[in-house]
Amino acid sequence: MNDTTLDYRESDRQIWEEELDDFVPQRILDAHIHCFWNANLVQIPEGFEHQDHDLDTLNRWAEVLYPGRDMQYLILGTPSGKPDVSRHVQSVRQAIDGVAGVRHNRLVTPDCQLTDIERDLENPQFVGLKPYRTYSVTGDIAQCRIHEFLTHEQMELANEHGWWVTMHLSRFDGCADEHNLDDLEEYTTRRYPNIRWLLAHCARSFTYWPIHHAIERLRDMPNIHYDTSAVTDVRPYVTLLTREDTGRIFWGSDGVGAAFFHGHYAALGRAWQHYDADRGGLQFPHCDGRPILAVYEQLMSLKFAAEIAQLSRDQIEGIFCGNAAAALGIPADEGPANG
């Protein structure tokens, strides 16, 4: 166990008890969450500060955030601090070995060897890959295309095995970018039809516009799924819940660093920005200024979108667990990771 603690405040507790406790189902499968170990960093970048968080940390925090819930996880490899990939993979393997209800998408960079990837994915708890635009071979992490940080050779291997790929899209317009749409259409319908894509952050729609623009094409592509991670604007959820098959939507928090802070992801027209209220210096002379955790902002937006879309309880339970569990092949009787 490490010393990582969660800054949980009375304002958070009030929102949980009054707004979220009766909305969040008993079973939760967080399909976008990370573990991290400083010991895996080759060289700690200047100014980089990140606490260790392992599976025990995730379970302890879950008990605070979602009291009494049964937790399962799709743990994703993380690029934080640019770790040694093999050491990071080994740490995850050791942390989740034999633990019920846990699956993993392996950190992958363009430099990763196919033989190493294939060997690691022989572990039945390893079900896919997690590439990052920060490893783009172009050096441009803002405007790179999928094949520039997940190579065609790696996609061919994933296609051969039917693996998952959790994809945080690059390019300014996210899923609305025509290159991204064209590439995803080519990959899902022709070139790599067996890859199962999990588009992170509502297909990188932190504001209303990307998914609103892209939904007509995305919903016709096979093997496309979405996780909800770190999206705090209600509008992308409304689009997804009213215009997509809700069975393709998975709950994901993007814990820990990207969701367990007090603030949200501020939508500013078609732009957006991470906003940490503890660092923003805002004044609240007009109200009771007590910001809540971003993950609760996310849950609140999802709740209101579900009400607008008139989702059934079964559909809500599907988003929080059933959809991902079925897609990842986790049996109903496998049990929780925090049992």
In a domain, 334, yes or no: no
HSE at residue 326, side-chain half, CA atoms within 13 A, is 11
Report d(CA 73, CA 88) in Å as an integer.
17
CATH (domain of 195): 3.20.20.140
> What was the pLDDT predicted at 142?
98
- Give the model confidence (pLDDT) of 40-67 as tens digits: 998 777 777 788 999 999 999 999 999 9
| Number of domains the chain contains | 1
> What was the pLDDT predicted at 4?
59
In a domain, 339, yes or no: no
Range(s) of the domain holding residue 228? 10-328
Q: What is the pLDDT along the chain (339 residues), one digit of tens a residue?
A: 344 578 999 999 999 999 999 999 999 999 999 999 999 998 777 777 788 999 999 999 999 999 999 999 999 999 988 899 999 999 999 999 999 999 999 999 999 999 999 999 999 999 999 999 999 999 999 999 999 999 999 999 999 999 999 999 999 999 999 999 999 999 999 999 999 999 999 999 999 999 999 999 999 999 999 999 999 999 999 999 999 999 999 999 999 878 899 999 999 999 999 999 988 888 888 988 899 999 999 999 999 999 999 999 999 999 999 999 999 999 999 999 998
CA angle 28-34-39, nearest 5°? 145
In a domain, 336, yes or no: no
Phi–psi pair at 221, nearest 5 degrees = -90, 135
Sole residue written with tokens 């968080």: 53
> What was the pLDDT predicted at 224?
99
Give the three-state DSSP class for 76.
strand
Report d(CA 83, CA 42) in Å as an integer.
6
Report d(CA 145, CA 200) in Å as an integer.
15
In a domain, 107, yes or no: yes
Give kind and range of the element (H or E) at residue 166.
strand 164-167
In a domain, 291, yes or no: yes
In a domain, 1, yes or no: no
- Give the model confidence (pLDDT) of 257-290 as tens digits: 788 999 999 999 999 999 999 888 888 889 888 9
Q: Are 311 and 10 in contact (CB under 8 A)?
A: no
The number of beta carbons lying within 10 Å of the beta carbon of residue 271 is 11
Looking at residue 9, its amino acid is R
In a domain, 280, yes or no: yes
Phi–psi pair at 261, nearest 5 degrees = -130, 165
In a domain, 2, yes or no: no
Angle between helices 178-186 and 209-218 (to 10 degrees): 30
